[in-house]
Amino acid sequence: MSVAPPAAGSSAVGPSAAEQNVGAGGVASVADLLRRAAADRPESNAVLTPRGRAGDPARDYDCLTFAQLDAAADRFAAALASRGVRPGDRVALMVRPGGRFATAVFGTLRAGAAAVLIDPGLGVRGVLRCLREVSPIGFVGEPIAVVAARAIGRLGGVQVWASAGAAVPGAVGWERFLSFGAKGFVPPTVEPTDAAAVIFTSGSTGPAKGVAYEHRMFLAQIEQLRAGYDLPPGEVDVPAFPLFALFDVGLSATMIVPRMHPSKPAQVRPEEILGPIREHGATRAFGSPALWNRVLKYAVDRGETLPSVSALLSAGAPVSPQTHEWARAVLPAGAQLHTPYGATEALPVCTTGTDEVLGETAAKTRAGAGTCVGRPFPGVTLRIIQEEQGPIDRIGQVRDLPAGEIGEVVVSGPAVTREYVGSPEQTRRAKIADDDAPNGVWHRMGDVGYLDDRGRFWFCGRQAHVVRSEAGPIYPVRGEAVLNEHAAVKRTAIVGVGPVGAQRPVVIVECESGRRTATLRDELRERAATTDVIGPVAAVLFRRTLPTDVRHNTKIDRAALAVWASKALASPLRRRITRA
């Protein structure tokens, strides 16, 4: 079954509003949108970067207006060109969120180069592996990142080294680098189909992959967010994800960078989000479910509200009904916690909000129906097809499933990416060719779920995490929601041990503090056995914490837990291990 976008006048395969406007009015890239914002709102703040460290009681900011950011991007682009960077070259950016990051991103785009963006949470080895895969010609990073890359990176192809702070051996400092640009620099002509960026996936289900973005794809994302959430110019955003610099500037919004570690949202100090919202009258904010679980509960416990906010956004993993209940208590009437669904390769895809979740879908989620992530954005088409383990060469090979039947998720739209950099086999496995689709491909999300009779997509988990038992597939996200309703449980993970087709489900539990007991184990075993979305389990094991992804701190690493569970069940010290 497929779902076309609900917006009037949209088409499953026709051009989106973003595609119709690409190239019109001189807009071929997001950097052109910055130029437009600088002309329309020159003195308005574009980026506010906090000074000091997280936890400092006084919040002070370095401010860049749209005019200043536009001029800084020009200087950065001119500096790249003066050092030999040409259109199509790749420049790695490892700059902490803030004004310099925005300058580097927009300057790279304006130079016609492709920005390489890698999550530092992957660790030194992971980051360096990604860099070697894409062979950048330039590297601009924080001083410590430059030193590490030069010392152990084996990045012989890098010809341009610059520090986002003070000069370090082999790399010039920030201000000197910006001085290299020739006055009167004229940016090269950029086409919408030119390479704009390489953005790496989080690596939550395997090694991180470099996703190739074209300029038109960023423009389409901005247009979809604008249309899907009715975002006018002049809003104030507090985003806990660095890449939102592209979206906020493209939407002519002021971005307030929170004082937090971008790879540790689950450890954020709630006041580093709530404080800027209150002080600057922010109208929206973005964060992972782990961040909002912490921040919204903190606000509810203290009886605080956020009267200026019209929308919160959360992505990266399913958002629990409890989080939506906290949002309703904190936000003003009519405001929503929106939960856009998507992936690095295809974003955004679907969206839903607090009213819909608490009005209807939360009860079904708690009963094991999966997580409803809503309807497709305008211009996006979503299909549920019969699961395939190998590549699918053409869209004509797929079989659509009827409403209510769980299958594999594939999507098409103007923001859907076409390939992974340097990984033709990964591209072949993840993309399905279709000459009639926007960008010529469908993306296989790697997720499983179903469409209901109202055209909403219900997420049931990652395809790689499905437990393939003799009795049939067990979808972790469905069963975990049932078990998580136990008062002593913080969260659970269902994994399979044994050979595919004969796997046995194992429940791994992270409890509320001090509540691990034999009685709880028996109660969860009984609860699993009596629900048709799980059934009898091989074991119930306890862990102090469940491992999660480095980007959002929310996606449970079920692959690692499956290995751990297999070893635990095979160990002669099983009794001690299961109490770990």
Burial of 230 (C-beta count, 10 Å sphere; 0-12/13-18/19+): exposed
Burial of 575 (C-beta count, 10 Å sphere; 0-12/13-18/19+): exposed
Q: Are residues 289 and 552 in contact, defined by beta-carbon separation less than 8 angstroms?
A: yes
Three-state DSSP string of 352-415 = CCHHHHHHHHHHHHHCCCCEEEEEECCCCEEEEECCCCCCCCEHHHCCECCCCCCEEEEEECCC
Render 148-208 in DSSP notation, one character per residue: HHHHH---TT--EEEESSS-BTTBB-HHHHHHTSPTT--PPP--TTSEEEEEE---TTSS-
Q: Quote the pTM value.
A: 0.92
Q: How far is CA 447 from CA 289, 351, 466, 551, in A?
A: 18, 16, 10, 18
- φ, ψ for residue 266 (rounded to 5)? -70, -15
Q: How far is CA 264 from CA 293, 377, 553, in A?
A: 13, 29, 7
Segments of the chain assigned to CATH 3.30.300.30: 466-577
Is 20-379 in CATH node 3.40.50.1100? no
H/E element, 222: helix 215-229
Segments of the chain assigned to CATH 3.40.50.12780: 20-379
Burial of 529 (C-beta count, 10 Å sphere; 0-12/13-18/19+): exposed
CA-CA-CA-CA dihedral for 224, 228, 232, 236, to nearest 10: -90
In DSSP terms, which residues pair with 371 in a beta bridge?
A: 459
Task: Write the pLDDT tens digit of every residue in 330-357.
Answer: 999 999 999 999 999 999 999 999 999 9
Segments of the chain assigned to CATH 2.30.38.10: 1-16+380-462
Q: Identify the CATH assignment for 466-577 out of 3.40.50.12280, 1.10.3080.10, 1.10.730.10, 3.30.300.30.
A: 3.30.300.30
In DSSP terms, which residues pair with 472 in a beta bridge?
A: 469
Q: Identify the CATH assignment for 1-16+380-462 out of 1.10.580.10, 2.30.38.10, 3.10.580.10, 3.40.50.2000.
A: 2.30.38.10
Q: What is the pLDDT along the chain (580 residues), one digit of tens a residue?
A: 666 543 322 323 333 334 444 444 579 999 999 999 999 999 999 999 998 766 565 678 999 999 999 999 999 999 999 999 999 999 999 999 999 999 999 999 999 999 999 988 888 899 999 999 999 999 999 999 999 999 998 899 999 999 999 999 999 999 999 999 888 899 999 999 999 999 999 877 778 999 999 999 999 999 999 999 999 999 999 999 888 889 999 999 999 999 998 888 889 999 999 999 999 999 999 999 999 999 999 999 999 999 999 999 999 888 999 999 999 999 999 999 999 999 999 999 999 999 999 999 999 999 999 999 999 999 999 999 999 989 999 999 999 999 999 999 999 999 999 999 999 999 999 999 999 999 999 999 999 999 999 999 999 999 999 999 999 999 999 999 999 999 999 999 999 999 999 999 999 999 987 678 899 999 999 999 999 999 999 999 999 999 988 787 788 999 999 999 999 999 766 544 444 3
- φ, ψ for residue 149 (rounded to 5)? -65, -40
